[in-house]
Amino acid sequence: MILELFPRDAQNKIEAIAELNKKIRCCEKCRLHEIRKNALCGEGNTDSRMMLIAQAPGEKEDLAGKMFIGPSGKKFDELLLEADISRNEIYITNLIKCRLPKNRKPKQDEIQTCSEYLNKEIILIEPEVIVPLGYHAMRYIFQKFGIALNSSKVFGKFYYAQEKKIFPVQHPAALCYGDSLLEETTKNYKKLKVLMSECKWYPCCSLKRYYETGKLGKKWVELYCRGDWESCVRYHMEERGEPHPDWMMPDGSIDESLRD
C-alpha cells in the first residue's frame, strides 16, 4: 500500500533493494555465515547522493543486526555531528556483510564473493559520491574503478573515475585507539558536507556555460562545481566579491582557449 505513494521507478528501486536485502540476510556463500548472527544490509537514505562503505560489522552490530552501534559507531556519530550530517541523509553499507572472526582482516576470496552485493547496491542506489571508510573498502573501490593506489596518503583526497566521485576517509574505528588521527579525520568528514551539494554559484558560473557548450570537459565540473567547490579558487573570489576572468579555472589557472 505504501509503495503506491511512490512513482514507478522509485517503487522498482525499493523493491529491488528489498529483494537484494532478502538475499543478503540468508546468504551462505562464504565461510563467514557460520559464525554470524546477522548479515547486515545497507541502511539510510536510498536516494542519497552519498554512499559510505565500511569494512564489516563488529560484534555489537552482528548481534543487533544494525550498522555502527558499537564503539566505532559512537565515533562515527561524533564525526557526523561535527560535519553536521545526519544518518538519514546518507546511505551506509559494508564491503563484507558478515562479522569477521575476532575482527580479523577480510580474506581475498571473502571480498570477491561478498562484493557482489556491494556492486548491486552501487547500481541500485546510484550514488554520485562513494566514500570508502578505511583501507580495505578503499582498496576494493580503487580496484573496481581503476584508480591506481600509488600513494600512502589517500584519505581525504578526491578522485573522479568512471563517472563516480570517490572520497576515501579513515574508518571511525581508527579513533577508538587514541586521538592522534582525530584532527585529520574530523577535517575529512567535514568535507563530506561540502560534497553533499553542488556549488551555489554553479547556475550562474561561466564554467557551466563552457561545459554545456562542449568547450570544457566534465571532469572539472564534477571535481569542483558538483564536488569539492570549497577548494575552488573562483568560489572564494566570488565570496569576496573579487573580479576574475570568466576563463579562470577552479584551480586558479587561466585557460585562454576558453575566451569568447
Cα–Cα distance, 213 to 82 (Å, whole number) = 39
Instruction: Pinpoint the alpha helices (H) of the chain.
Output: 8-25, 59-64, 71-83, 108-125, 135-144, 182-195, 206-212, 218-220, 233-240
> Please, what is the minimum distance in Å from the beta carbon of residue 51 to ligand SF4?
17
In the bound state with ligand SF4, the residue whose beta carbon lies nearer, of 39 and 67, is 39
Q: Is 202 near ligand SF4 (CB under 6 A)? A: yes
Phi, psi of 116 (to 5 degrees): -55, -40
Site string for ligand SF4, 30-69 (x = CB under 6 A): x-xx-----x------------------------------
For the chain, the first-to-last Cα distance in angstroms comes to: 55
Candidate segments 66-74, 153-161, 169-177, 221-229, binder of ligand SF4 by CB under 6 A? 221-229
Q: Is 27 near ligand SF4 (CB under 6 A)? A: yes
Phi, psi of 30 (to 5 degrees): -140, 170
Find out whether 230 and 193 touch, Cβ atoms under 8 Å: no
* Binding residue (CB under 6 A) for ligand SF4 from 155, 158, 211, 229: 229
Cα–Cα distance, 221 to 169 (Å, whole number) = 22
Using CB under 6 A as the binding rule, the residues of this chain from 100 to 139 that contact ligand SF4 are 110, 113-114
Instruction: Give contact residues for ligand SF4 (rule: CB under 6 A).
Output: 24, 27-30, 32-33, 39, 96-98, 110, 113-114, 199, 201-202, 205, 207, 224-225, 229, 232, 234-235, 238, 250
